[in-house]
Structure 1
């Protein structure tokens, strides 16, 4: 992944984390990795008693490649990987987790202007 794409992704993840916190969610982890499954979970948050695993997908405004809606870019395989990563992360952190009830998998798609501001935002709850 290019450095520019990494910067775009990190900026989008920060915007989403800030927004989720303003909505009352508590961020538990960012860019979480596991010992058993390769990859990372962009954000893990508590929403009430639900532990939420969040995949963030960002595109630049005016981008000619990619889907019309950024959230659609998170296809079946990526969602499947997110579930595997979440299970591995739960095993790795079994004793250190805050109390939680349900698990939820959300996808947030953003389109960012050249200044890094979100001009399109789509939050798909229970997307996986």
Structure 2
């Protein structure tokens, strides 16, 4: 199992334990990929999973560039277009970040919006 998949599965387990429901993992659109798409009650949550083994200069969560955020938002719009059942749900963009280990993720709700 590759390292990226390992952290995505750890994030998924963590989020399911706190009550979110998995809709889709690794959704690919023309602008990129969204690691996890989950429901938090009626809120559709698009989740970017990040990991950094050495976070001397900045954290895993801080490593998401404005360009990457824009691609995630555009990919989320593509998901909504392909899945109209979710069009009336509130949407949120979260980050689950792992710095050094899989043991304790940092969950940042509403980490970013379209700028």
Query: What TM-score do you get using the length of structure 2 for normalisation?
Result: 0.86
Which whole-Å CA distance do the structure 1 matches of 2:81 and 2:68 have between them?
20
Unaligned runs of 5+ in 2: none
Equivalent residue number for residue 13 of structure 1: 8
Change beyond 3 A, Cα 1:73–1:8: same
Which has the larger Rg? 1
Which whole-Å CA distance do the structure 2 matches of 1:26 and 1:98 have between them?
14
Is 2:102 the counterpart of 1:105?
A: no
- Which portions of structure 1, spanning 4 or more consecutive aligned residues, are displaced by more than 3 angstroms? 97-100
- Partner residue of 1:74 out of 64, 73, 85: 64
- Aligned residue for 2:67, secondary structure, equals helix
Which whole-Å CA distance do the structure 2 matches of 1:120 and 1:24 have between them?
17
- Partner residue of 1:29 out of 21, 24, 34: 24
RMSD between superposed Cα atoms in Å: 2.1
Query: What TM-score do you get using the length of structure 1 for normalisation?
Result: 0.78
Which whole-Å CA distance do the structure 1 matches of 2:39 and 2:73 have between them?
17
Q: How many residues are aligned here?
A: 112
Which whole-Å CA distance do the structure 2 matches of 1:19 and 1:100 have between them?
26
After TM superposition, give the deviation of residue 8 of structure 1 in Å: 1.3
